Amino acid sequence: MSPKAPSFLPYGHQTIEDDDVAAVAAALRDDLLTTGPRVEAFETAFAECVGAQHAVVCANGTAALHLAMLALGVGEGEVCIVPSITFLATANCARYVGAEVVFADVDPMTGLMTPQTLQDAVDRCGGRPIGAILPVHLRGDVAELPALRKIADAVGAALVEDACHALGSRMTFDNAPASAGDGRWGDLAVFSFHPVKTLTTCEGGMITTADPRLAERLKTLRSHGMIRPPGADPWWYEMPEIGFNYRLPDVLCALGLSQLAKLPRFIERRRTLAKRYETLLTRLRPTVWIAERPPWSDPALHLMAVLIDFEAAGKTRVEVMAALKDRGIGSQVHYIPVHRQPHYAARYGVADLPGADAWYARCLSLPLYPAMDEADVDRVVEALGDALAP
């Protein structure tokens, strides 16, 4: 049985059921709490789920991004291109390895980096080597990967999908169906299992790839950079290069395995609720628009993002969010443009990215998670209509 949605509707919420709790309890009673059999079992099931050759689990999505940069050998003297509309970690991972960040603009209607905004960012790199390009599949809508791949190849950069919103997202390019993170276009893809994401391990992350050498490197870097050469003495380990402790415990992989089996049901529920939102929200046009869906995209819908013309409504976003909160409804802004964050503004100045600013001015994420029911959606849309009424 799914637990009922709480009476306050946050913008996102985990779905933990009795069998998830039982799976964790069983793992806790086993011998190996950290590096146990469920780690590889979760990786194998996850790789199969997204259609990737290899999956490497780790401590969280941010660690996954850091490991991706390390495994690719991105570092000082290089730049990484990151869309400005994303979570901080997408940009920060470049800084962790000493690379610099060049921010790309986004399409103001989709929030996604496009081939045009990427090319513009490449031009602003001033000839510096580009280590990695990190498209973000915002809300679950996948960026235009084949075109981004072409540009990455032309400049000799790796392509790393930030798929933290896109577990289970599908897309069709040239009549060929594919999944976010399946390794067809991206060298690596990263996922997060934070509680607001499509499935949770409390904290947790995953990296997928088609490249067995990268997968092996990621596993070594995840555990201190230690290797045990075949045929070495039983106590022996070596550290050819320095790594981190970014492992995910067996106990949390048990939760991941249990949650992964429910992913189709979770996604189906998100889609049903989103469809109802889309139908009901048409009556609030033209003040409220659903964020645009690219034609190739069949998203798993991590977020219910709407674009609101606050000026036309004569209300500020602060007033609208407060009015929703008074009626027991949470909402959130995804995201504040990262290029405007004090750390990056001080380091690079503030580039002119009008698409990111336009998206930021209008975006609002409404509650969407599997435990909601249809009446919850009705309540949110009614409250939003009232909050925007003159």
Instruction: Tell me: does residue 205 bind ligand PLP (CB under 6 A).
Output: yes
User: Tell me, what DSSP letter sits at residue 294?
Assistant: P
The piece of 159-167, 172-180, 270-278, 292-300 that touches ligand PLP (CB under 6 A) is 159-167
Count how many Cα atoms sit within 13 Å of the Cα of residue 266 in the half-sphere of its side chain: 27
Q: At its nearest, how many Å lie between ligand PLP and the CB of residue 212? A: 25
Ranges within 88-107 binding ligand PLP (CB under 6 A) = 89-90
Nearer to ligand PLP, 205 or 299 (CB): 205
Contact 277, 381 (CB under 8 A): yes
Nearer to ligand PLP, 85 or 372 (CB): 85
Length of the chain: 390
Instruction: Tell me: does residue 247 bind ligand PLP (CB under 6 A).
Output: no
Nearer to ligand PLP, 258 or 365 (CB): 365
Detail the DSSP E strand segments found in 200-344.
205-209, 288-290, 297-298, 304-308
Contact 30, 41 (CB under 8 A): no
Instruction: Give the Cα-Cα-Cα angle 247, 251, 255 (nearest 5 degrees).
Output: 105
* Contacting residue, 192, 200, 209, 258, with ligand PLP by CB under 6 A: 192
- Neighbour count for residue 321 (Cβ, 10 Å): 17
* Contacting residue, 87, 103, 185, 310, with ligand PLP by CB under 6 A: 87
* Separation between Cα atoms, residue 363 and residue 381, nearest integer Å: 15
Q: Give the residue ranges of DSSP H helices in 32-87.
A: 37-50, 61-72
Ranges within 27-66 binding ligand PLP (CB under 6 A) = 60-62
The piece of 4-12, 101-109, 161-169, 323-331 that touches ligand PLP (CB under 6 A) is 161-169
Q: At its nearest, how many Å lie between ligand PLP and the CB of residue 208? A: 15
Instruction: Say if residue 279 is exposed, middle or buried (CB neighbours under 10 Å; 0-12, 13-18, 19+).
Output: exposed
* Contacting residue, 194, 217, 247, 276, with ligand PLP by CB under 6 A: 194
Instruction: Tell me: does residue 201 bind ligand PLP (CB under 6 A).
Output: no
Residue whose Cβ sits closest to ligand PLP: 61
Q: At its nearest, how many Å lie between ligand PLP and the CB of residue 318? A: 23
* Contacting residue, 162, 250, 357, 376, with ligand PLP by CB under 6 A: 162
The piece of 49-57, 158-166, 210-218, 260-268 that touches ligand PLP (CB under 6 A) is 158-166
Q: At its nearest, how many Å lie between ligand PLP and the CB of residue 203? A: 6
Count how many Cα atoms sit within 13 Å of the Cα of residue 286 in the half-sphere of its side chain: 2
Size of the site for ligand PLP (CB under 6 A): 14
Ranges within 319-358 binding ligand PLP (CB under 6 A) = none
Nearer to ligand PLP, 62 or 258 (CB): 62
Region label for 113, one of left (φ > 0), alpha (ψ between -120 and 50) or beta (otherwise) = beta
Binding mask 131-150 for ligand PLP (x = CB under 6 A): -----x--------------
Q: Which helix (H) or strand (E) holds 162?
A: strand 158-162
* Contacting residue, 101, 164, 257, 363, with ligand PLP by CB under 6 A: 164
Phi, psi angles (nearest 5°) of residue 75:
-165, -160
Nearer to ligand PLP, 60 or 84 (CB): 60
Q: At its nearest, how many Å lie between ligand PLP and the CB of residue 193? A: 7
Instruction: Give the Cα-Cα-Cα angle 276, 282, 287 (nearest 5 degrees).
Output: 130
Cα 62 from chain centroid (whole Å): 10
* Separation between Cα atoms, residue 168 and residue 189, nearest integer Å: 13
Q: Mention every residue, 6+ apart, whose C-beta is less than 8 A from residue 16.
A: 3, 200
The piece of 6-14, 157-165, 306-314, 364-372 that touches ligand PLP (CB under 6 A) is 157-165
Binding site for ligand PLP (CB under 6 A): 60-62, 86-87, 89-90, 136, 162, 164-165, 192, 194, 205
